[in-house]
Amino acid sequence: MAVAERLADENAADLRARREHTSTVTCSPHPGK
């Protein structure tokens, strides 16, 4: 289960970074999120 937990952590970090990136650059790969 450690792999799933690490994947979830990476996914959350990726989402956070993506949200911060899209706040400055209007180039969202997932509009609406």
Residues 5-22 pLDDT 10s: 999 999 888 888 877 765
pLDDT at 9: 92
More confident residue, 10 or 32: 10
pTM, 2 dp: 0.45
- Cα 28 to Cα 26: distance, rounded to the nearest angstrom: 6
Does position 33 have pLDDT exceeding 60, yes or no? no
pLDDT at 14: 87
Which residues, 6 or more positions from 15, have their beta carbon under 8 angstroms from its beta carbon?
33
- Copy the structure tokens of residue 31: 């509009």
DSSP 29: S
